[in-house]
Amino acid sequence: MKMASSENGSKFFFIILVFVLPFREFINLEEFSFPSAIGGNRLYFRSPEPTEMLKIGDVVPRFMLQDQSGKLRNVEEFLGRGKLVLFFYPKDETLGCTKEACEFRDYQTEFEEAGAEIIGISGDSVESHRQFVENRQLNFVLLSDPDYSVHRQFGCRQGLFGNIGIRVTFVIDSHGIIMKVYSSRIRFRNHVKVALDAVLKMNEKLKEGKPRGNP
């Protein structure tokens, strides 16, 4: 009897590994549950308590991460050059993340002309980022955050063990102040539109001499 329960449990976890985890980009695993094979109880996957996501007006935490070439990059070097669009995404080469990254690639010139630099961050390795940049001809920096430490600083993590990044874009001014936050799991390309609109509105306010605030 115990052996049968054990086998059923193993099969259930195999189903989760094969059919659920590949689509974790679209599933809120913090709320995911399924009937247990043992006793009919429900088993819940819950990640550790998430850090509150940073919001408009917050100061960006300082951090250093490796880029796709393995070079250690300090966020302050980007802030010193102007506005920054920092987008967190779940995983290289997945459907939604590829669409989002390629949309940022296609609008890179518009961002550059508006005085903004683009950076993508995920938990993927440096090598994965290198291949992603090469395969998709990306024209901006990708940073590797394998232990999700920077994700935690920004409040951008979820999953069974708090080790899955979520899709959030931050628009940051040259002083390191967050001016816009946009979060959407499935509106991949909308991240680019919202970020560019925010950057352009920031420029308009600067021309008008208005104080910084929510674009």
Domain residue spans in the chain? 2-44, 64-208
Beta strands in the chain (DSSP E): 33-35, 42-44, 64-67, 72-74, 83-88, 116-122, 141-144, 157-158, 164-165, 168-172, 178-183
Spatial contact of 42 and 33, defined as CB atoms under 8 Å apart: yes
Amino acid at 142: L
Homologous superfamily (CATH) of 64-208 is Glutaredoxin (3.40.30.10)
Task: State the pLDDT at residue 206.
Answer: 84
Q: Is-catalytic flag, 97? A: yes
**pLDDT one-digit tens code per residue, 85-94:** 999 999 999 9
pLDDT tens digit sequence for 131-140: 999 999 999 9
Cα torsion angle, 173, 178, 179, 182, sign: positive
Q: Is 196 helix (H, G, I), strand (E, B) or coil?
A: helix
pLDDT value, residue 46? 39
Select which of 75, 79, 97, 138 is catalytic: 97
Output DSSP code: residue 50: P
